[in-house]
Amino acid sequence: MTDRFETLTVHAGAEPDPRTGAVVPAIQMSTTFKQDGVGGLRGGFEYGRSGNPTRAALESAIVALENGTHGLAYASGLAATQNIGFLLEPGARLLMSDDVYGGTWRLADKVWRRYGITTDTVDLADLDAATAALGGEHPPRMVWIETPSNPLLKIVDISAVARLAAAAGATTVVDNTFATPYLQRPLDLGADLVVHSATKYLGGHSDVIGGLVATRSDALAERLRFHQNAAGSVPSPFDCFLVMRGMRTLAVRMDRAAANAAALAAWLESRREVSRVHYPGLASHPGAELAARQMRLPGAMLSFELAGGEVVARRFVAATRLFTLAESLGAVESLIELPAPMTHASVADSRLAVSPSLVRLSIGIEAVEDLRADLEAAFAASDA
Ligand SMILES: *Cc1c(COP(=O)(O)O)cnc(C)c1O
């Protein structure tokens, strides 16, 4: 019997402890494990970098949520990304969505490039462009999809791109941080690897940095497991506990945050101060139809352009009371930021650069009337 997603979020990785009956997985801090004779491991655990029971519980939880067979936990989303990068050999080419998370682009462009791995960017939401990029004589080894993308919320057709990538012999990776497995399950759509910044919706409370990877491929999982240990980018047991604690409420948090986001996106679109709203739940969004097919809900991230330009945008983001001006996203509280000088500063001089008047909102689970009133007051205060 397969449980529904909401049930899985509550129960995955949380078998009551057979010895104590504890309902919540223990935070196992021990860095080493007694052997019954050389190599006689009781629970398969030997040394804390190689494996830890709390981490194993989190890893089994992401397997359940992403409908995979292997899960790996890391110290951050970028540590998870780096471990996927370890799958590439010098000389390999990588194809990325053209508005991937700034830190992902920085890692590819500033670090992997030094090791002979080159990265091309293309608008993967444009299937003709994706087909051209994947159909050449020397196809990339790996395709990196982020959907919805950050900060423009572009929607990439995961199954179409994964099919093109498979035909070209490339591994498909989907950064599923914005959608979460509640809204979209990339492995079901043909992706080989799914990666998360667990810092965002999975943790959900702005109190833990973490990364996760899930896959159905034994071969990829074996190499990732090797590098997780060899490069040591592992999360602490306490961090694993916090991510799991957040994951328990993922479905209810996402339902509420997405409903708030849909209401605010429609309201923002009606404001004269706003020249454009990017939210895949709006009929005006070019990816709306695809999002409706591929995602359970259009998510809780949105961005919009202020008609008054950069000066007004800077005043606006400093004028809210409930929306906190801060980087990051995906938690219970609403956040506001200007991507150009903040989250996307690392791509300022590249073709991934974003408009200085673009405001990004991470919608939380507060009462939507209070969030709307807060934005309304900020419009008034910033002479938008
Ligand atoms: C935050 C983020 C990352 C990086 O994750 P960290 O946990 O900050 O290392 C990667 N991808 C996306 C989409 C993100 O939002």
Catalytic residue among 101, 182, 201, 279: 101
Domains in the chain, please, with CATH?
5-247 (3.40.640.10), 250-382 (3.90.1150.10)
**Centre of ligand 1 from the C-alpha of residue 78, in Å:** 6
**What is the pLDDT, as a whole number, of residue 1?**
64
**What is the pLDDT, as a whole number, of residue 18?**
87
Half-sphere exposure of 93 (CA within 13 A, CB side): 14
Which atom number of ligand 1 is nearest to the Cα of residue 210?
Answer: 7
Which atom number of ligand 1 is nearest to the Cα of residue 150?
Answer: 13
The question of whether 201 is a catalytic residue gets the answer no
**What is the pLDDT, as a whole number, of residue 153?**
96
**What is the pLDDT, as a whole number, of residue 384?**
67
Among 375, 384, 342, 374, CA closest to 150: 342
Among 267, 299, 221, 286, CA closest to 368: 267
The question of whether 276 is a catalytic residue gets the answer no
Sign of the Cα torsion 272, 100, 335, 10 reads positive
**Centre of ligand 1 from the C-alpha of residue 342, in Å:** 14
**Centre of ligand 1 from the C-alpha of residue 77, in Å:** 5
140-168: string of b/e by CB count within 10 Å (b at 16+)?
Answer: bbbbbbbbbbbbbbbbbbbebbbebbbeb
**What is the pLDDT, as a whole number, of residue 70?**
98
Low-confidence ranges of the chain (pLDDT < 50): none
The protein residue whose alpha carbon is closest to atom 8 in ligand 1 is 77
**What is the pLDDT, as a whole number, of residue 102?**
86
Tens-place pLDDT, residues 29-50 = 999 999 999 988 888 999 999 9
Test site for ligand 1: of 101, 202, 337, most ligand atoms within 8 A of the Cβ: 101
**What is the pLDDT, as a whole number, of residue 2?**
79
The protein residue whose alpha carbon is closest to atom 2 in ligand 1 is 197
The question of whether 141 is a catalytic residue gets the answer no
Q: What is the CA radius of gyration of the chain?
A: 21
The question of whether 175 is a catalytic residue gets the answer yes
**What is the pLDDT, as a whole number, of residue 243?**
98
CB-ligand 1 contact for 106 (6 Å cutoff): no
**What is the pLDDT, as a whole number, of residue 349?**
78
CB-ligand 1 contact for 196 (6 Å cutoff): no
